[in-house]
Amino acid sequence: MTRPRILSLADLKPQDMAQQLQNDYEVVRDIAAAADVEAVVTAGNVGLSSQQMRQLPALRLIAVNGVGVDAVDLDEAARRGIAVTTTPDVLSLAVAEMALALALAAGRQIAEGDRFVRAGDWGRGGKLGLASSVLERRAGILGYGRIGRRLADMLRGLGMQVSYTARREKSDTPDRFFPDALSLAGDCELLFVTAAGGSETRNLVDADVLAALGPQGIVVNVARGPVVNAVALADALRSGAIAGAGLDVFDDEPNVPQALLDAPNCVLTPHIGSATVQARRAMAQLVLDNLSAHFAGKPLLTPYEV
């Protein structure tokens, strides 16, 4: 039986899931050779532009291996009736765990302490200053969707007081709602950014929000780089307007602005929020299941709905 041809712009992981894709489909990697494909596999941060869609006249399905759709031209997909699927929920624990890890790393000088030991400064009699407890701070979550709410559950379980903002207040939560990022930042010292990316959330965390967070404040961004203004963040770290930051996502990955590389107490990771074996396997399975459903003419498992 001939296998359907698909275009893959992102690798599934772990390796056995990539192998499964190869077994089930004829996988094309060059878009110039993919004019006949009905389905494309892409990643959240890779997406699919309208220009790429124009090269794919037979396209019926964009299967995103992730939940961020800010890099997919959704208007163009809707105009052409191309379905989009994502991998919701199965990565929420991994990303929430990463957010907590970044908060602890920035708040408890873990990355700085590691550099200090390796550089031999400890052996030479040096000392790090005192940190401020992370779990005794009030937490604010900007973007209270699947990842934000998973994180809120974790933080509450650790005894933290949690507040949040989102487009709409939620009725089914013990956490306190604030109407915007500024009022949320004024009430917390640990600001977690878990909102969707895109034009609506660009620069939601700006110099005013950082000033409201205050000199004990820590910002953690596991959402999308542009949600936090990188210039304002680097300034705030340098001037002491906030105490620290933990960043997994950036405006122009894999390039990280020098100002953030140079900023004090800024812990940086290379967009690995969902990069656990468990999450990536479950994400890949959903991609494979959505592809199978499409080619069998069955309903998609996790269609993205605006």
| Binds ligand NAP (CB under 6 A): choice among 147, 184, 219, 237 | 147
Return the number of the residue (149 or 294) whose C-beta is nearest ligand NAP.
Answer: 149
Angstrom distance (rounded) from CA 112 to CA 118: 10
201: Cβ contacts below 8 Å, ≥ 6 apart: 143, 195, 223, 224, 226, 227
Using rule CB under 6 A, residue 146 touches ligand NAP: yes
Q: Are 201 and 195 in contact (CB under 8 A)?
A: yes
Nearest to 249 by CA among 110, 44, 64: 44
Only one residue has tokens 């700085």, namely 112
| Binds ligand NAP (CB under 6 A): choice among 137, 271, 280, 294 | 271
Q: Which of the ranges 116-124, 141-149, 208-216, 293-301 carries the binding residues for ligand NAP, by CB under 6 A?
A: 141-149
**What stretches of the chain show up as alpha helix (H) in DSSP?**
15-24, 50-54, 74-80, 92-107, 110-118, 146-157, 181-187, 207-213, 230-239, 258-262, 277-295
Q: What character string, x for contact with ligand NAP (CB under 6 A) and - otherwise, covers 198-237?
A: --xx--------------------xxx-------------
Q: What character string, x for contact with ligand NAP (CB under 6 A) and - otherwise, covers 150-189?
A: ---------------xxxx---------------------
Map the footprint of ligand NAP across residues 53-112, applying CB under 6 A: 66-68, 88, 91, 95
Catalytic amino acids? 224, 253, 271
Angstrom distance (rounded) from CA 6 to CA 61: 10
Return the number of the residue (34 or 84) whose C-beta is nearest ligand NAP.
Answer: 84
Return the number of the residue (143 or 244) whose C-beta is nearest ligand NAP.
Answer: 143
Which one-letter DSSP state was computed for residue 55?
T
| Binds ligand NAP (CB under 6 A): choice among 197, 217, 225, 244 | 197
Question: How many residues bind ligand NAP, per CB under 6 A?
Answer: 31
Angstrom distance (rounded) from CA 179 to CA 169: 8
Residue burial 198-214, b: 16+ Cβ < 10 Å; e: rest: eeebbebbbeebbbbbe
| Binds ligand NAP (CB under 6 A): choice among 143, 225, 244, 246 | 143
Nearest to 60 by CA among 284, 285, 289, 291: 291
CB atoms within 10 A of CB 267: 22
- Taking the complex as a whole, how short is the minimal distance between the CB of residue 105 and ligand NAP, in angstroms? 15
Return the number of the residue (97 or 112) whose C-beta is nearest ligand NAP.
Answer: 97
Which residues are at the interface with ligand NAP (CB under 6 A)?
44, 66-68, 88, 91, 95, 143-148, 165-168, 194-197, 200-201, 222-224, 248-249, 271, 273-274
